[in-house]
Amino acid sequence: MRFYACYAFDLDGTLYRGNQPIKGAVNTVFELKNRGAKILYVSNNSSLTNHGYVEKLVTLGFPVDETWVRSSAIAAGEWLRTQSLQTLFVVGEPGLVQTLTLMGLTVINADTKGNVEPLYPSQFHLHADAVVTGICKKNLSYPLLDSAMQHIKLGAKFVATNGDASFPLEGRRFSPGAGATVAFLETCCGVKPHVTGKPRPEILLEGLKNIGICPEDCLMVGDRNDTDIECGITAGCDSALVQTGVDFSSTTATYIIESVENLLT
């Protein structure tokens, strides 16, 4: 395999599962960096702020700088700003609320800690310009989804940070992903969302632009065909599917490798 000027890594199922790094992953990322490659972390998981990602990656032993992290929460904030969608109803974790707030956007249904709660449209508060969904493990409830539906029915743009069906945890366990929540709202509203995370290429292309790397000099590394590999292809990058997460075969990836360790061979 050729050496690339930049390696864009998916996180869940590619570099770690839950809080456990995949064997050899830490050493591989350090070695690629030491050989002069730039590193990007491109994740559809919207549950953490960039600062939160830095803390997690440092704890697990990976080299990281806040500017290397490209999450679907950041991509959502960037897109919402280009569309002038300022006032938001969020179905997601505090990390998504905090990311959007730090980007200057207004979340109408969260407390000061970023915990989301049901809030029905009324004459007493601003109507939402957009409903933004992400993984919502902590506060997902029927009233939360019901009130999100009412905002969409009144014209709020439906935005999904990602449509991932599931995400891999330690061992062989998988948990429901943000795509399940998206499907709920899609079904009851009859509206398809605008997705800001992978496979849309902007989440990767914007990161490459920030560090001055051309797509053809970047390898996108991930465990899912429908998000990671598709994103790499659409962005114009080569791609490598690792067999440590969701998918084990691919008809579209440039390379299929057992794990990120094989990037060094």
Applying CB under 5 A, the residues found at the interface with Mg ion are 10, 12-13, 223, 245
Minimum distance from residue 10 beta carbon to Mg ion (Å): 4
CB of 64 to Mg ion, least distance (A): 17
Specify whether 247 is catalytic.
no
CB of 33 to Mg ion, least distance (A): 21
Q: Could you count the other beta carbons within 10 Å of the beta carbon of residue 121?
A: 18
Q: Using CA atoms, how far apart are residues 241 and 181, in angstroms rounded to an integer? A: 26
- Catalytic residue (choose from 12, 164, 228, 238): 12
Residue 258 contacts residue 242 (beta carbons within 8 Å): yes
Q: Which residue is nearest to Mg ion (CB)?
A: 13
Checking 234-241 for CB contacts under 8 A at 24+ apart, the result is 234/199, 234/200, 234/201, 235/201, 235/204, 235/205, 235/208, 236/201, 237/8, 237/204, 238/4, 240/1
Q: Find tokens 């069906």 and name the residue.
A: 165
DSSP state, residue 116: B
10 is catalytic: yes
Closest to Mg ion by CB, 131 or 237: 237
Q: Fill in the amino acid letter for 110.
A: A
User: Which residue lies nearer to Mg ion by CB, 93 or 223?
Assistant: 223
Give the helix ranges, DSSP H, for the chain. 25-34, 50-60, 72-82, 94-102, 142-153, 178-189, 202-211, 230-235
Distance CA 195, CA 132 (A): 10
- We find the least distance from the C-beta atom of residue 231 to Mg ion, in angstroms, to be 11
The least distance separating Mg ion from the CB of residue 47, rounded to whole angstroms, comes to 13
**Alpha carbon distance 5, 9 (integer Å):** 13
Closest to Mg ion by CB, 114 vs 197, is 197
Smaller CB separation from Mg ion, 13 or 52: 13
Q: By C-beta, is 217 or 226 nearer to Mg ion?
A: 226
Question: Mind telling me the catalytic residues?
Answer: 10, 12
